[in-house]
Amino acid sequence: MRILVVEDDRDLNRQLVRALSDAGYAVDNAADGEEGYYLGENEPYDLVILDIGLPKMDGLSVLEQWRRGDRNMPVILLTARDRWSDKVAGMDAGADDYLAKPFHMEELLARVRAQVRRASGHAKNEIECGPIRLDTKSARVTCAGQQIKLTSHEYRLLHYLMHHSGRVVSRTELVEHLYDQDFDRDSNTIEVFIGRLRKKLPVDLIQTVRGLGYRLSAEPDAV
């Protein structure tokens, strides 16, 4: 999953990027509204954390323009303001959630998990596909109750496929949603990570759909 952080406070921006990266997300960041708007308009993010009080272009204006352009990724607003009228304005602009500063990072991460779940139609932290269970809170993956050790990139790949199980996901989509801007984006690396995951998961759980991409399915005859 790929997240955009738009926050002008350098320390908080850095803390958010570190916490989200440690939680297994690919993270891009911006320090002003104009850059944040451009990234959100042109990159396929799974979620955006957006400060309201930004230089160059305020967060509400950024959000309103995204929504007018049919950009529908979940957006969590951050603000130092705690007035009910500001919350209403944020929700009316198209925000999915709202968090007033200061806040505990664990609360933010919980809200991120909730929004990502809702966007992909899941209600719980634990996602299952056949014998595989992925706990998005602890980043723990088990197969028939036995823990599977994954690298960060293997986990990101499985995390995305689990959220979209049953659907064919192209290599391009995986590259766009698993790697931040600074990563050397080569679709061949996806094949490498798919190969590694297949060695750790049950046979045929990750299916190749020729010419289209990959599908995670517990049904052997799904292709």
**Total domains in the fold of the chain:** 2
The reply to whether the predicted model has a pTM over 0.75 is yes
Last residue of a domain, one of 119, 147, 162: 119
CB 132 within 8 A of CB 157: no
Same domain, 158 and 174: yes
**96 in the same domain as 155:** no
Cross-strand pairs, 28: 4
Local structure of 5: helix, strand or coil: strand
Could you tell me if 4 and 43 are in contact, meaning their C-beta atoms sit under 8 angstroms apart?
Answer: yes
Domain encompassing residue 153? 126-216
Does 8 share its domain with 112?
yes
175 and 85 in a common domain: no
Instruction: Give the C-alpha separation, 114 to 109, whole Å.
Output: 9
Residues of the chain with pLDDT under 70: 82, 182-187, 220-223
My answer on whether 25 and 104 are in the same domain is yes
**Which of 202, 204, 217, 158 has its CA nearest to residue 1?**
158
Which of 98, 119, 140 is at the close of a domain? 119
Q: In this structure, is residue 223 part of a structural domain?
A: no
Q: What is the pLDDT of residue 223?
A: 44
In contact, 49 and 4? CB cutoff 8 Å: yes
- What span, in angstroms and rounded, lies between the C-alpha atoms of 204 and 6? 40
CATH number of residue 188's parent domain: 1.10.10.10
Q: Note the pLDDT of residue 222.
A: 45
Torsion angle of alpha carbons 155, 26, 70, 112, nearest 10°? 70
Residue 221 lies in a domain: no
Assess whether 109 and 7 both reside in one domain.
Answer: yes
Q: What is the reported pLDDT for 186?
A: 65
Element housing 49 (H / E): strand 47-51
Counting DSSP H helices and E strands in the chain, the numbers are: 8, 11
CATH number of the domain where residue 64 is located: 3.40.50.2300
Tell whether 13 and 105 lie within a shared domain. yes
| Rounded Cα distance, 73 and 71, in Å | 6
Task: Give the relative orientation of helices 152-163 and 187-200 as an angle to the nearest 10 degrees.
Answer: 90
Regarding whether 164 and 88 lie in a shared domain, the answer is: no
Q: Does 113 share its domain with 140? A: no
Q: Which of 119, 140, 156 is the last residue of a domain?
A: 119
Same domain as 133, residue 61: no
Structural domain contains residue 191: yes
**Which runs of consecutive H residues, i.e. helices, occur in the chain?**
10-22, 33-42, 59-68, 84-93, 105-119, 152-163, 171-178, 187-200
Are 102 and 195 in the same domain? no
- Is residue 7 one of the residues assigned to a domain? yes
